[in-house]
Amino acid sequence: MNKRLFGIIIMLILLAACSSKDNESVKSEAEPSEQKETEEIQEETGYEPKEIKYYEIHNANRELTDIEKELLRYPGIYSGDQYDENKVNEALEQLPDDLTKEQYLEEMIYLLSEDYHEEMETLVSFDSSVEVNIDRPDETVNSPTLKTAHYAILIDASGSMKAASGNKTRMEAAKAAVMEFAEQVPEDATISMRVYGHKGSGSDADKQLSCSSSENLYNGNFDKQEFQQSLDQVKPAGWTPIALGLETVKEDIPEGADDVVVYVVSDGIETCDGDPVKAAEELVAADIETVVNIIGFDVDDDAGQKLLKEVATAGKGEFTYVNSELDLKKYMRAQYEEIQEKWLEWKEEGKSKAFEIKEEKKELAFSTKESMKEKSNREKERMKTAQNYLKERFKDHGHPVFQMFSMIVDYSDAKWRYAVDTGNQAWRESVDSGNQQWRDYVDEGNKKINETIDKKNQ
């Protein structure tokens, strides 16, 4: 008998007696005494064992154990759907009557062993790791969708901004809200501040001077001290050249900006004969994706509200009318609500993907295990049937075929236990990896959401 096969059979018998936890590879070759005995048997009987072929797993990154190699053996000629008991019996009738029990088992394996190679391809190279890669919102939390963004703030410095709004002037309230917003701008974004109508006064004599005044006071990454110093320079003075502010803000947009959000803070109508609607249309028609949001702060009349709304519409943005410092801050905070929602969506998508992948890997591990269990049980029962046929043939209770029951059981049960142990391990590792990935998304998502809430409520 093939000496390697003899060693495998001996190994499977030993394996059946061991706990699955301590299942280790055993020698694939017979001991010298066993090898000599096998050679003597072959000489006496003239028995020639069948040629054994094995499937190869090319992506295995380790040495396979003997049980794994045996599971990669080519299937028996009457295995699976090819099973025909009559044909099996005919083949058994052709066997010599003086074989050893190991040789009879080998003949049964040749006829009836199942095909496990597809399941082995799955289990040997099973990747239980669950990895979900979803692009995070901007790491600064504040603007997950604007990775190369520029925020341009236009402040109306017309004389009407001196008017009281609660216990502050409109200008003081506007400055406080602008500063709060600027502090939340992403670190990798840029911000500019431009003032318009800040020169001269509201008199007719100063109209030309005031209506032609638009000045950039800050541009670059946010620096709280420098931005505050620039903001302190803004003083309410003259007329309201909104159109001029929108025309000149183009100068503040840096090259390479992918997205631009323009915030115009104003308390009234265009008073310098400009066309702010047209200016807004031209601004958003440029190559750079631009949105113009208008914040009408304590606007004096309906005409002013109507104009500012038209400008926002032309700028593909939104118009929000506020008549108090509290309303203005609420508007600014609404921007953070959107960012908070982005992180929530990111977290939920990550959780969903982690769960989905985990379930797929669990199902693969489970179905592969169950398939191998079913095959090993079927293989065992068919071999037991074959043994019973041989027992009927020989009838002598001293004949080797009467001593084969435990060998048959051990041979198939070793495969069954391998399927259970390896399949369960793949299942557990998939669960652990998937749950960890799920928790990672929950933890990071909650952390970012809480950071955004804290900054929003500052």
d(CA 168, CA 216): 25
Q: How far apart are CA 271 and CA 190, in angstroms?
A: 30
| Residue 323, pLDDT above cutoff 70 | no
Mean of per-residue pLDDT scores for the chain: 82
d(CA 126, CA 124): 6
**pLDDT at position 302 over 60:** yes
Dihedral pair phi/psi, residue 118, rounded to 5°: -70, -40
| pLDDT, position 2 | 47
- The predicted pLDDT at position 44 comes to 56
* Domain architecture of the chain: domains with CATH: 3-125+350-456 (no CATH), 149-323 (3.40.50.410)
123-162: per-residue pLDDT in tens? 998 999 999 888 877 534 333 333 478 889 989 888 888 8
Instruction: Report the pLDDT value the prediction gives residue 458, as an integer from 0 to 100.
Output: 65
What does the alpha-carbon distance between residue 111 and residue 95 come to, in Å, rounded to a whole number? 12
Contacts 24+ apart (CB under 8 A), 378-384: 378/114, 379/79, 379/112, 379/113, 379/114, 379/412, 379/415, 380/408, 380/409, 380/411, 380/412, 380/413, 382/83, 382/88, 382/112, 383/105, 383/108, 383/109, 383/112, 383/408, 383/411, 383/412, 384/408
Is residue 192 a contact partner of residue 252, using CB atoms and an 8 Å limit? yes
Residues 6+ apart with CB under 8 A from 382: 83, 88, 112
Provide DSSP, 346-360. Answer: HHHHHHHHHHHHHHH
Instruction: Give the pLDDT of residue 308.
Output: 79
pLDDT at 293 over 50: yes
φ, ψ dihedrals at 129, nearest 5°: -75, 135
Query: Is residue 59 predicted with pLDDT exceeding 90?
Result: no
Minimum mean pLDDT range among 105-109, 292-296, 297-301: 297-301
What's the average model confidence in pLDDT over 65-81?
95
| pLDDT tens digits for range 375-398 | 999 999 999 999 999 999 999 999
DSSP 278-343: HHHHHHHTSSSEEEEEEEEES-SSHHHHHHHHHHHHHTTS-EEEE-SHHHHHHHHHHHHHHHHHHH
State how far the Cα of 399 lies from the Cα of 378, in Å rounded to an integer: 25
Provide the whole-model pTM.
Answer: 0.53
pLDDT of 212: 92
Phi, psi angles (nearest 5°) of residue 216? -85, 125
Can you give the pLDDT at residue 413? 95
For position 304, what pLDDT does the model report? 66
pLDDT digits (tens, 9 = 90+) for 7-43: 444 444 444 444 333 333 333 333 444 444 545 545 5
Instruction: State the alpha helices, DSSP H only, in 78-169.
Output: 85-93, 101-112, 117-124
| Nearest CA-CA partner of 154 in 88, 70, 253, 223 | 253
Query: pLDDT tens for residues 257-280?
Result: 878 888 888 877 788 888 988 888
Unique residue bearing structure tokens 């320079």: 233
- The separation between the first and the last C-alpha atoms of the chain, rounded to the nearest angstrom, is 83
Percent of the chain past pLDDT 70, that is, above it, reads 81
Q: What single letter denotes the amino acid at residue 147? A: K
Element (H, E) at 453: helix 405-456
Beta strands in 147-197 (DSSP E): 149-156, 164-165, 168-169, 190-196
What the block records as the tokens of 119 is 């399941």
Q: Which residue has the tokens 């670059």?
A: 220
At 414, the pLDDT band (50, 70, 90 cuts) reads: very high
User: Rounded CA gap, 56 and 60, in Å?
Assistant: 9
pLDDT tens per residue, range 303-315: 767 777 787 787 7
Instruction: Return the higher-pLDDT residue of 417 and 183.
Output: 417
For residue 219, is pLDDT > 90?
A: yes
CA nearest 1: which of 65, 60, 47, 64? Answer: 47
Alpha-carbon distances of 387 from 80, 355, 395, 402, rounded to whole Å: 18, 48, 11, 8
Q: Are 213 and 241 in contact (CB under 8 A)?
A: yes
Apex CA 143: angle with CA 142 and CA 149, to 5°? 125
